[in-house]
Amino acid sequence: MLENIQRTAAYIKNRIGDFEPEVGIILGTGLGGLVTEIEVVKQMLYANIPDFPVATLEFHSGKLIFGYLAGKKVVAMQGRLHYYEGYSMQQITFPVRVMKMLGIKTLFVSNASGALNPAFQKGDLMVIEDHINMQPDNPLIGGNEDELGPRFPDMSEPYKLDLIQKALDIASANNITCHKGVYVAVTGPNLETRAEYRYLRIIGGDAVGMSTAPEVIVANHMGLPVFAISVLTDEGFPETLKPVSVEEIIEVAQKAEPKLTLILKELIAQLAPAQ
């Protein structure tokens, strides 16, 4: 795996020259619009990058975007990968390892998720303060590459507390409804049953989705600070559960996206300059 990561990173470096990104961004379902805020230097299709998995969803475009956002050099994944697409956990998290190899110092992650906490509602944002990983595999299973990280990485602060507080302050200053909560990662691709929503709330979940945890585990393995935020696109409340389509989920995500973009831009602007 290490050889593949190095080969892929070398290929990308050869094409972006001396541009070294300091911030990595993973854009979730319906949340690719942040790219319009980036002063683009270079774009690369996943399909053209050696060993890079290709997003299979029609609403995930599958591009690496290099450029400037809020005064920082960034690389954004426009189109993320999911376990339910049939990829291994190592494939899903491969881009995170490549971005770290390219030089990023902080990883920002966004996703669309379903609200479990009855105090939340669709269209709200939720900064992730912790997660419960219920996916049946782990990206660190197998031989450990000591150059990438330790065999048993600590996960006591998977999401950086200072970034969480700064994001909440930004939201408050801009009158944006933004909660703080625990994200539960499941496999999908089906949405949950009433009983499953009830169970996920009982075990401590505030929102549920089908991504994020694998990338965050790998980022922590590599010593990469993480900030993650969810757009709550539907409501998983057992007593009032209604059918929802992926089209409705994407529509809610896109309506909420300007609020998410504002928070991410201001948060990235507040990062300390790269040394």
Lowest-confidence range among 76-80, 226-230, 233-237? 76-80
- Tell me what percent of the residues of the chain surpass a pLDDT of 90: 91
Q: Where are the domains of the chain?
A: 2-269
In the structure, what pLDDT confidence band is assigned to residue 79 with cuts at 50, 70 and 90?
Answer: confident
Residue range 21-41: average pLDDT? 92
In the structure, what pLDDT confidence band is assigned to residue 33 with cuts at 50, 70 and 90?
Answer: confident
Residue range 60-77: average pLDDT? 91
Q: Is the dihedral of CA 68, 70, 75, 79 positive or negative?
A: negative
Is the whole model's pTM more than 0.85, yes or no? yes
CATH topology for the 2-269 domain:
Rossmann fold (3.40.50)
In the structure, what pLDDT confidence band is assigned to residue 32 with cuts at 50, 70 and 90?
Answer: confident
Sequence-ordered list of residues with C-beta below 8 angstroms from that of 11, at least 6 positions apart, any chain: 49, 50
